């Protein structure tokens, strides 16, 4: 098997149990299929830091994950993203957008369009109108001029999924490449052909798959795995208590204990043993992943 899987956290905060479970699943999927497993640091956001990135790497290593090669760091690839946007612009596939988020949300849109879908306000501005808006001093975002309104992907766990594709942002008004562009370019450049991530990202996947097609890049296989939820049924977060390795270590819970609980949540152990990553890999069968979310009470980790 050629190609690779990956885990790509944003270093804006320490990884919690839900993040670690997704990382473990991504590692299991890749290793079970004979792929390399890569780490990418998605640090384009201003809230990220290299110190947090290193803590994330340490936590991933602590639960038994290994990676092939050096991590790819998005902030070191800005010129690559800009070059891709320049090629799309030269081909007539982009336009400048001067809308604020508030204006987009309040603008009329086509029936059945989801909230937040771009209504096309700046898509067909004349050259004079573009010049006028530039003169107001608001830096424009660069949007893809999409020629479809939806796109269908096939997910190994969720099946066929069709989602909205609008004229989505490729580069923000502050000059930073948008996530939907960066992730497609990075995955293709790293020969990543398997993307395993949490199922709250499923709705954005058709945009990314469509962009890969526009760029004549291969569309990877996808597996969107269930989230970890708290006892109230909402997405797990640090406010739920001791849910990071550091906070758990402070109350005497080891990384091995965390791995054992993750294994139990995936049907790879009973929670009482502490199987190493090699044992988990030998037991792993993608077809047997629990279909629903894991409801976590941090007390269960004690």
Cβ contact 154:171 at 8 Å: no
**Residues 51, 100 within the same domain:** no
- Looking at the fold, whether 218 and 101 belong to one and the same domain comes out as yes
The residue segments making up the domain with residue 92 are 78-183+211-222
194 located within any domain: no
Report the CATH number that the domain containing residue 216 is assigned in CATH.
3.90.800.10
Query: Among the three residues 222, 244, 272, which one is the final residue of a domain in this structure?
Result: 222
Query: Phi and psi for 268 in degrees, rounded to 5?
Result: -105, 10
Looking at the structure, do residues 45 and 62 belong to the same domain, yes or no? Answer: yes
Over residues 54-103, the pLDDT tens digits come to 999 999 999 999 999 999 999 999 999 999 999 999 999 999 999 988 88
Identify whether residues 93 and 217 lie together within a single domain. yes
For residue range 236-265, list pLDDT tens digits in order.
887 888 899 999 999 999 999 999 999 999
Question: Do the domain assignments include residue 102?
Answer: yes
Which pLDDT tens digit goes with each residue over 132-185? 999 998 899 999 999 999 999 999 999 999 999 999 999 999 999 999 999 999
Do 133 and 155 reside in the same domain of the chain?
Answer: yes
What is the signed CA dihedral for 71, 75, 81, 82, rounded to 10 degrees?
-150
Q: Check residue 169 and report its DSSP letter.
A: E
Q: Decide which of 195, 222, 249 is a domain's last residue.
A: 222
**In this structure, are 47 and 95 located in the same domain?**
no
In a domain, 203, yes or no: no
44, HSE (Cβ side, Cα atoms, 13 Å): 23
Domain CATH number, residue 27: 3.40.50.620
């Amino acid at each position: 098997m050629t190609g690779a899987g990956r885990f790509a956290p944003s270093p804006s905060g320490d990884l919690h149990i839900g993040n670690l479970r997704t990382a473990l699943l991504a590692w299991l999927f890749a290793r079970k299929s004979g792929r390399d497993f890569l780490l990418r640091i998605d640090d384009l956001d201003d809230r990220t830091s290299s110190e947090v990135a290193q803590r994330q790497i340490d936590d991933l290593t602590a639960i038994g994950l290994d990676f092939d090669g050096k991590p790819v760091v998005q902030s070191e690839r800005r010129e690559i993203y800009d070059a891709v946007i320049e090629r799309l612009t030269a081909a007539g596939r982009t336009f400048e957008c001067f809308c604020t988020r508030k204006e987009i949300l309040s603008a009329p849109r086509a029936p059945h369009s989801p909230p937040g879908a771009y209504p096309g306000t700046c898509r067909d501005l004349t050259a004079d109108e573009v010049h006028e808006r530039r003169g107001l001093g608001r830096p424009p975002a660069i949007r893809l001029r999409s020629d479809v309104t939806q796109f269908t992907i096939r997910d190994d766990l969720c099946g066929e999924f069709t989602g909205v594709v609008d004229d989505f942002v490729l580069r923000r008004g502050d000059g930073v490449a948008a996530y939907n562009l960066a992730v497609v370019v990075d995955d293709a450049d790293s020969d990543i052909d398997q993307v395993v991530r949490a199922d709250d990202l499923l709705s954005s996947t058709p945009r990314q798959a469509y962009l890969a097609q526009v760029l004549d890049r291969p569309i990877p296989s996808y597996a969107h795995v269930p989230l970890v939820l708290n006892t109230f049924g909402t997405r797990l977060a640090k406010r739920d208590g001791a849910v990071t390795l550091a906070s758990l270590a402070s109350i005497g819970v080891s990384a091995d204990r965390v791995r054992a609980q993750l294994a139990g949540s995936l049907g790879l152990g009973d929670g009482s043993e502490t199987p190493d990553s090699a044992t988990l890999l030998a037991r792993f069968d993608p077809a047997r992943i629990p279909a629903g979310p894991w409801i976590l009470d941090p007390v269960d980790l004690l």
